[in-house]
Amino acid sequence: MIIRIDELSDVPIYMQLRNQIVMGISSGELQAGEKLPTVRDLALEMGINTMTVSKAYQLLKTEGYIMTDRKNGARIRTEIKKEASVSDANKTELKRIISEARISGVEKQEILNLVELYWEGK
């Protein structure tokens, strides 16, 4: 999986990293049990601070997407807890996105088409 960071984005780098790993899990690019790069290796590869990668990994661990241990490093969890509902934070983010799209004149059907496309993992 290729991770791309947008240095001009208002989204913090650790959150961009977290988001891309979650999208990789959802799309199947990252498989259950797959080993992630070490904090040091990923930071070096991306040219970012190790604490930034560590913060992203810690968040992913807290959210239940990855597991970590000193011997084996970070891996994608083999079983991710199914909530079967959208979190309040995600509802708020979705509402913000839809509001911005509506203000910008985006048609409802275009948003629905994007939801369908992304739901299919494309």
pLDDT tens track for 40-95: 999 999 999 999 999 999 999 999 999 998 888 899 999 888 877 888 888 999 99
Q: Which residues pair with 76 in a beta bridge?
A: 66
The C-alpha atoms of residue 109 and residue 93 are separated, in whole angstroms, by 19
Residues 39 and 93 in one domain: no
Whether residue 18 lies inside any domain: the answer is: yes
- Nearest to residue 86, comparing CAs of 101, 102, 74, 97? 97
What range defines the domain where residue 52 resides?
13-76
Whether 122 shows a pLDDT value over 70: the answer reads: no
Residue 97: count of CB within 10 angstroms of its CB? 13
Tell if the pTM clears 0.85, that is, is over it.
no
Residues 46 and 18 in one domain: yes
Residues 19 and 72 in one domain: yes
Whether residue 6 lies inside any domain: the answer is: no
Whether residue 25 lies inside any domain: the answer is: yes
Whether residue 38 lies inside any domain: the answer is: yes
Residues 68 and 101 in one domain: no
